[in-house]
Amino acid sequence: MAVAPLAWIVLLVVAGALALRALLLWLFALAANGPVMYGEGAVAHAGSIIARGGDPYGPARAGMFVAANYSPLAYLVAAMGESIGPFFALRFASIIATLSVAVAIAWRARHQRLQAIALGASFLALVPVEVWGPAHRSDPLAIALTALAILAAAPSWWRAGIAGASASLAVYAKPTSVLPLAVVFAYLLWRERDVAVRTIGAAVIAAVALGAFSLARFDAAGLVDHVVRRNQLPLDFGQLPSLLIACLITIGVFIVAGLRTSDGRLRAYVAGGALVLLLGAREGATINYFLDLAVASCLGVVTVAARTQNPLLPLALAAQLVLGAVFFRPLDASATTGAWSDPRRAALASDLARTSPHLAEESGVLVANGIDPIVDDLFLWSRLVAIGAIVDDVTPRILDGEFATVIAEVSLEGLDRAPAFERQRWPPTLARAVLTAYRLDVSADHFYKYVPRRILVRLE
């Protein structure tokens, strides 16, 4: 057997094994119908509010904090499956969206079947994709719609219409999608003006329709407050170098290879994905900021693979996948970044009183049990309190023992040794208040339940 085909077989074996493991765990997460990563509970809660006819962007009930800091698309999709479970519809849609991107990558390499399968599997085996591919968040929908918009754009009106509508929906899923789209559309205005004009025209029409729907369905002022103002978090340039290093470890070879593409549109896509990565300087950023860059790079690699017989390309890609898997251990609870939690841990909260107030770091354990969380995104709440955007009315209630339970993902006694993102979710004053007024009752993986040290009886 020639060296080049053998090298592609090596990539197929490595990528196929990692992708198959990821797919099995994705299906497990879908069947478990619970949260697997931080922030999914807030999305499920907003979807539940919509399913009940409410508005997550409207004024929250007294004493409650509803994050709803995404554009509406993810919440609307989540609401559609509420009858099955709060974590079903959007996770299912995310899995389909991620698989669709892999199929698109394989389809563009279809003239070399071995390469096509290996490259499609390689995308699924990338650490950011493994971790975020099935996320009950807006990211998978956004990257799939962005890719569709960029690949579909063509002179014909029907393809321009698909591309424009997809672009608007991508931004309606996650506003950061505007960065890769803007760079690619700028390139098209320079090199393919007719394509750009028709696609942008279709995008504007779709955006107007989506805007009209949003104004009719949601509170306009609340929409601006939640999606715009609540995302204006402080910059933390100190975390950007570590994020860049993680990016190089997980997809660096794919980026370098993808940039060698002769397709100017895809080079622009890679550049736009790099701009999204630079937003990682904002507090709360994680490896989901690599996703656009991962898609663009993989599409670029397809064109490079089609014109080279060098076996070093597939071998380098395989080495990249192994390096990412060894270094980050994706989808494991002990992962160094993007750690998954067992969705079945929601069962540990199944005996909580439905009518009592509860505070949970990952509110998904409450939402999965039909309980409306008082704070559905503790990280966003703590950041907004820190910058003075909202008032801390939770800590005094903790000191008064008003919450029936407090559930953390780490032991609050050892919070000073926890990762930085955990310390951002638990401000020192809040953590001290919990330890003062509450005691540890149950401890399990990513589940530490605290209950009041004493039961307060108030006389009327």
Element (H, E) at 100: helix 89-108
Question: Closest by alpha carbon to 185, among 274, 268, 303?
Answer: 268
Q: How far is CA 234 from CA 122, 230, 273, 278, 283, in A?
A: 35, 11, 21, 14, 6
Give the Cα separation of 133 and 52 in Å (integer).
Answer: 28
Encode the chain (460 residues) as per-residue pLDDT tens digits. 455 689 999 999 999 999 999 999 999 999 998 999 999 999 999 999 999 999 999 998 888 999 999 999 999 999 999 999 999 999 999 999 999 999 999 999 999 999 999 999 999 999 999 999 999 999 999 999 999 999 999 999 999 999 999 999 999 999 999 999 999 999 999 999 999 999 999 999 999 999 999 999 999 999 999 999 999 888 778 788 889 999 999 999 999 999 999 999 999 999 999 999 998 878 777 899 999 999 999 999 999 999 888 899 999 999 999 999 999 877 665 554 556 777 878 889 999 998 899 999 999 999 999 999 999 999 999 999 999 999 999 999 999 999 999 999 999 999 988 888 888 899 999 999 999 999 999 998 889 999 998 755 443 3
- Cβ atoms within 10 A of the Cβ of 125, count? 29
> Is beta strand 405-408 parallel, antiparallel or unpaired with respect to 358-360?
parallel
Which residue type occupies 204?
V
The helix/strand/coil state of 235 is: strand
Q: Torsions phi, psi of 408, nearest 5?
A: -115, 160
Please check whether residue 348 is in contact with residue 449, taking contact to mean a CB–CB distance below 8 angstroms. Answer: yes
9 is written with which tokens? Answer: 């077989």
Q: Is 211 exposed, middle or buried (0-12, 13-18, 19+ CB in 10 A)?
A: middle
Exposure class string for 361-382: b at 16+ Cβ within 10 A, else e: bbbbbbbbbebbbbbbbbbbbb
Segments of 260-390 assigned E as strands: 358-360
Q: Torsions phi, psi of 236, nearest 5?
A: -130, 85
Question: Closest by alpha carbon to 171, among 192, 148, 155?
Answer: 148
| Cβ contacts of 132 within 8 Å, gap of 6 or more | 139, 140, 287, 288, 291, 338
147 is written with which tokens? Answer: 């890719």
Give the Cα separation of 302 and 236 in Å (integer).
Answer: 35
What is the tens place of the pLDDT at every residue in 208-253? 999 999 999 999 999 999 999 999 888 778 788 889 999 999 999 9
What is the tens place of the pLDDT at every residue in 89-115? 999 999 999 999 999 999 999 999 999
pLDDT for the residue numbered 85: 95
Per DSSP, the chain holds a count of helices (H) and strands (E) of 20, 4
Give the Cα separation of 48 and 31 in Å (integer).
Answer: 19
pTM above 0.85, yes or no: yes
The helix/strand/coil state of 400 is: coil
